[in-house]
Every structure is written in structure tokens, then in C-alpha cells.
Structure 1
């Protein structure tokens, strides 16, 4: 499957809208589009899925390793893969540029053209030439002019570009293309879907066939060894409170067992199961519903009986004793883990993270290292005798030094991990 990356000059330049418009332009040209996202994000991929009609793949060498990242790319299906970059093209130690180099994908640069013409071309040329300075072997093929008007404005940008940079079109400045934001980033795609009529209008100004012409196929990785099914039933929380799930994670759980979804927010009962996975999400926005959830009440009973339960970030918050919202309201949670959670105005952690297991646990064996990602606005006040499964080697974790709060056979972490880490294989084998 051929693909390309839409990378930004900076964060906030409009990569997500440009990506969605490119997906629509290619779809209207008759291509089946597989979306993907560079980096560990959950929110942008939800918008990709809403527009493309299929789940967005996660491409992050820290989470997956380079071989795992290539495997995840080729788990996608379609004629073309449209990858949205993260931050600015060269930002971070696992930057979009490094991902483009690893996968040998061409880069189309999304430039803010709202207040420039020749200067837009100068900036793009600088981004193209910086690759050699940074020692990164990538092909910056051209630009999308974000927030550019038509007529003389567009013509001036196009004429100023050197021959080495192609013009892939523009995204006009349209209020209907703005996606609402909140803590953790944009609203999810299912909550605030972008106006499709406005998106189609933007797509009409992009050159779909030019994207297709520049796309390349990454080298194929070696095939994986098949993993045996366990025959176990795994209950997975899935609703607006538990919406941060990598597609590869659910695929891995389905490969190893039978996945049974349930919604604590809607009042579902906990299904009959051999283990429970609570993904991250926004439990703070649904704290009242979770406090009354029969599933969490049953989960507390089953956890005390030894049922394996794995909660990541928002899942850990729901497993705690209590959750205090920004408004100062405190709600009782499942009460499995000895911690009280409090929300804050500013984020408390944002980075790739690395954990090392202090003991055998649901997601790793003693001494094993797990790489993941953390991004949360809450803090956890834990009991003095709380037990932790991991030492933090990079990142913040729960208290700056430890992560993986554990009780019975329940594990709660602030760090999200990907299926390529092996954590979910370990979880399935522990059931």
C-alpha cells in the first residue's frame, strides 16, 4: 500500500483539517483511503475514522519499534495511506521526519499561508533543505497552503515555489472547518464531527491525483509468528468515557480471545468474562454516570475475587476510590485501587514514557521494560501502603518514580501501551 505524510511546520497549523480534506479528495477520486497518525495520539485518529470510514493506524517508533510500526502500517487496508504527522515536521526525538525516513514515505508540508505568499515558499524551502542539515533522509515533495485564499493569493504562493517543491492545493479559511478543543486536545470525531459540506469544499481545492502520484510503498516487514488463541472472554469498556483504544490493541485481544464490549456509562452490566480491559478516555466528564454504574460495582466484587483487570489512565481513574472533577465535585468510583483522583486545569504529564516491572504483573514480567505514552490532567493521591508494579525510567507515572498501582489481580497505570509492546499478549496469557 502506497502512502504519504502530511506534516506541519508547527503544531496547530491545521494538519488534521488538511488530512481530512485530503482523505475526501482522494475518496472522491475513487481511491480507498487508509488513514494513519504519526505519534501516540487517540483524538486525531477518531476524526480520521469518522471521515474515512475505517480505523486510523498508529505509527510511533517509541511505542511500536520500527519493525512494529511497519507491521502496523501494513495491517491497514486501502489503495493509499494518508498519514497525519505530529507537531512540527522535525520536532521531538521520534519526530514525523524520523517516521517518514523509517517508512520511506514522502512528505507534503502543511504551511500556514494566511498572511504570506513568497514567505510561505521560503519557509517550505527551508524545511526541505533542513533535512540534510539534520542528517535525515526524507523527501519533502511539496506543500498544502493552509488558510489560503484563491485568486492572487494562491497564485502568488504557487509561483514562488521552487521547482523542487510541488503545489498540492489549498485549504480555504472557513470557520466550519474549525474543530472544538478541550483538555487533551480536540473533541473526539464522534462528538464534534467536522462539517462534511465544508470539508468537501476544501477537498475541491486539493489535487488528489497529485497526492496519489507522489505516494510510495514502505518496505514490507518480516511476517509475524501466529499467536495461539486462549479461548478466554475479555470484557472491554467502550463508550465516551473509555474511548482511547489503539486499533491494534483490540485486534490483538480479538486474536488471542473473545472480546465482549460493554458500556459502564450507559449502565451495562459487566459481561461474563475471564478478564477486563478498561481503556483511557474521559471518565471525568462522566463521573456521575460511572458512580452509579452497575458494571463498576460488579467489577469491584469480581476484582476482589481475583478477576484480572487492566486499566490504563482513565481506566485506572475509574478503578480508584474517588474522582474529583474540576468543579470540585467528588464521586465514588469502583474502589478497587487505593487512590483518590483529582482533576487539574493544567496537564500533569505529557511525554513518551518507559517503565520497568518490579514484579510479575498483568502486562509484563519482572525486569521487563515497557514503552508507552502518558498525557493526563489528573493526579493520584495513593494510600501509604499502596503497591506499585513498575519503576519509572522515563516519564512521570503516578508519583514521579512509580507506576502500575496494583491490588488483587488488578493493575492500573497512567501510561498507555501499544499491542506491539507485548503487554496485551502478557495480559491474555495471564487470564
Structure 2
């Protein structure tokens, strides 16, 4: 499967809209498109999935390693993969867009804000390409998409200013309907605020789709394939799946389904916990659904079954739901599952944002004692933890829950602020507990 990476000159330049327009343009030209996202984000991929009608692959060197990155890429389907970058091309010390492009040997298409420039767009693109040489990195900046560019003289001026070996691959016009609303943690989810289909289709017509496909190339395949030979049906995992628990990597669900029967439930819709041998509560927006969760029979049942030893794993929003209570930034308070000895409070500013590394101080649901896990944390909440609470991890990079610790644990329940990827092996160990 061929691929291209759409990278920005900075955050907020319009990478997501350019990516969605590129996906739409390639689809309209008859290509089967696999979307992907560089970095650990859950929100941008939800918009990819709406337009491409396919889950978006997560490509993060810190979370997956180089072989895991390639494995995850090649598990995608289609004839061309469109990878949206994270922040600016070179930003990030753990898994920048440039690092992902280099690990996959994919060409980069630079998204440049052309709202108030023509020749300067070319100068910017040329500078980004030459910077790779200056830092001794093999980054192939192959072309440019001009974001917020008008047609006519504006587009012609940008194209004519580019050197011959930097392709002008079209533009995204300045259209108000192409703006996606945002809130804490980022944009609204794709199912909440999809772009208008006709507007996106019109914008995609300004892209040079044949050139985009021609620029794309296939990356090398991974040297080792991760063992996924466990028999399906060895246990049943219940996965929360609704607006409060919507942050899941596709590879995680694939791994769970490869070795267990997976059933979903929606706590905010009044679903009770189905019969199961283990529970996975992903992250999401529990703070937007405090009343529904406080009334949820599923959280009551999780509390009862956790006390009986049912394996329960909660990440970020899942951690919050497993605690005693959740209080919003506006002071709204709701009782949660009450499994973990902590009360959670939301804040107006984020409390942590980083790639993290955790070292297990005891055997737990996701790792053996002494092992390390790499993940990512981004949350606006903090947890007021009981003095005698037990933790499974020491934080070697990142913030964690409190005092350099993460992984609140009680019974066979683990709650952590860190999101981990299936390539970390965490879910293999979780499945061992389920079986």
C-alpha cells in the first residue's frame, strides 16, 4: 500500500481539513483510501473515519517502536494511505511527524498556510526541506498543499514560485464551513461535528489528485510480525463504547478480538454490564456525561464484580469512571463506580500532556513487575487519592496520577492516566488475566 504524509508547518495550520480533502479527492478518483494519524491522537482519526468509512491507523514511534509502526501501517487496507501529521513537521522529541515519515520512508506533503503569502509559501516549503539536510535526517518533502489559498493569481503565484522539484499539489480554499469546532482535548469528535459533505467535495476538487497518488510510495514491510496466534473465544471482554468512552485505538480492538469474544456496551445509554470475563474502559469524555454515568447500572455492576475479582482495566476516562466521584469544572458532581480509592476533579487547564514511560513496581493487569510500558497522557482532571492507595507504576517520564506514580490498583482492577497501544504488549497481559 502506497502512502503519503501530510505535515504542517505548525499546529493549527489546517492539517486535518487538508487531510480530509485529500482522502475525499483520492476516493472520488476511484482509490481505496486507508487513513492514518501520526501521534497518539484519538480525535482527528474520528474525522478520518467519517470521510474514509474506515478506521484510522495510529502511527507513533514511542508507543509502537519502528517495527510496530510498520506492522500497524501494513495492517491497513486500500491502495493508498493518507497519514495526517502531528503539530509541525519537526516538532516532538518522541514521535514527530518527521520521525514517522522517516521510519516508514514515506514522502511528505507540506501543508502551508497561504492566507497572506505567495512566494513566501515557496520559501517556507524550501526551508522545511533543507532543514532535514541540516539535521542529517532523510525527510523527503516532495510537494506542497496551499491551505486557505484563493484560486487564480494567488494559486498561480504559489505554483510558479516553487522550485521544479517541489510539486504544487493544489489548494484548500478559505471556506468557513471547513472549520471544525473545538473544546478541551481538541476538536469535536467526527460523529459530532462532521464537515459538510458537499463543501468538502468542492474543496477536494482543487487538489491535484493524480499527482498526489503518483507522489505516494510503499514503505518497507516490518522484519517481524507480532504473534497473534491465541485462539479467539478464550474469554469474553466487555468494552465500553459510547460518547463517554470513545478513545480507542483500532489495533487495540483488533488485538482483543484476536484472542477473545468482544462485546460492547454503552453506559451513558443505560446499558448494564454484559456477562464477561474482563472489562476495558477506554478514555473519552466522562466529564460531559456525569449525570448519565452516575445513574448507569453498568458502573454499579462493575463496582460489584470488581470486588469479586473481575479484571477491569480503565484508561484516563476509564480511570475517572472507576473512582468514587467525578466533579466537573462547573462543580457538578456524580458518583462513579467506586472501585478505586480516589475522587476526580476537572480543571480549566490541562494537567498533563506528554509521552510517558511507566515502570511496574508490582505485577499488574498490563505488565509484570519490573517491566516498562510506554504510553501517552493528556487530561484536564486530577485525582485526590486516599493516603493508603496502592499504585502499580513509578513514572519515569510524564506526570502520572500523583507523586510520580500511576496505575491505581484495587482487587483485579487497574486505572491509569496513560493510554497504551496494543504493540506495547499491555493488552496481551490483560487477555491472560481474562483467560
Question: Partner residue of 1:133?
Answer: 134
Q: Does 1:227 align with 2:239?
A: no
Q: Shift in Å at residue 163 of structure 1?
A: 1.0
1:429 counterpart SS class: helix
Cα distance between partner residues in 2 of 1:302 and 1:329: 27
Q: For residues 6-21 of structure 1, what are the structure 2 equivalents within 5 Å?
A: 6-21=6-21
Cα distance between partner residues in 2 of 1:365 and 1:249: 19
Question: Partner residue of 2:197?
Answer: 196
1:73 counterpart SS class: helix
Cα distance between partner residues in 2 of 1:34 and 1:256: 25
Q: Shift in Å at residue 174 of structure 1?
A: 0.3
2:292 counterpart SS class: helix
Question: Partner residue of 1:260?
Answer: 263
Instruction: Summarize the Cα distance change of 1:132–1:400 in structure 2 as closer, same or farther, 3 Å threshold.
Output: farther
1:63 counterpart SS class: helix
Q: Does 1:34 align with 2:48?
A: no
Q: Does 1:314 align with 2:324?
A: no
Q: Does 1:103 align with 2:104?
A: yes
2:258 counterpart SS class: helix
Cα distance between partner residues in 1 of 2:393 and 2:219: 35
Cα distance between partner residues in 2 of 1:163 and 1:206: 18
Q: For residues 139-178 of structure 1, what are the structure 2 equivalents within 5 Å?
A: 139-178=140-179
Cα distance between partner residues in 1 of 2:416 and 2:431: 17
Q: For residues 27-426 of structure 1, what are the structure 2 equivalents within 5 Å?
A: 27-93=27-93, 94-221=95-222, 222-229=224-231, 231-426=234-429
Q: Shift in Å at residue 153 of structure 1?
A: 0.7
Deviation track 1:18-67 (CA, whole Å, cap 9, x = no partner) reads 00000000000000000000000000000000000000000001000000
Cα distance between partner residues in 2 of 1:400 and 1:13: 36
Q: Shift in Å at residue 135 of structure 1?
A: 1.2
Q: Shift in Å at residue 256 of structure 1?
A: 1.0
Q: Does the 8 A contact of 2:228 with 2:255 survive in 1?
A: no
- Does 224-233 or 49-58 show the bigger shift? 224-233
2:267 counterpart SS class: coil
Q: Does the 8 A contact of 2:228 with 2:258 survive in 1?
A: no
2:109 counterpart SS class: strand
Cα distance between partner residues in 2 of 1:219 and 1:400: 42
Q: Shift in Å at residue 203 of structure 1?
A: 0.2
1:321 counterpart SS class: strand
Cα distance between partner residues in 2 of 1:414 and 1:171: 37
Deviation track 1:350-399 (CA, whole Å, cap 9, x = no partner) reads 01000000100000000000000000000000000000000000000001
| CA root-mean-square deviation | 0.7
* TM-score in terms of structure 2 length: 0.98
Q: Shift in Å at residue 98 of structure 1?
A: 1.0
Cα distance between partner residues in 1 of 2:376 and 2:403: 14
Instruction: Summarize the Cα distance change of 1:21–1:400 in structure 2 as closer, same or farther, 3 Å threshold.
Output: farther
Cα distance between partner residues in 1 of 2:356 and 2:174: 37
Cα distance between partner residues in 2 of 1:156 and 1:370: 49
Kindly tell me the number of residue pairs found equivalent between the two proteins. 431
* TM-score in terms of structure 1 length: 0.99
Structure 1 stretches of 4+ with a deviation exceeding 6 A read: none
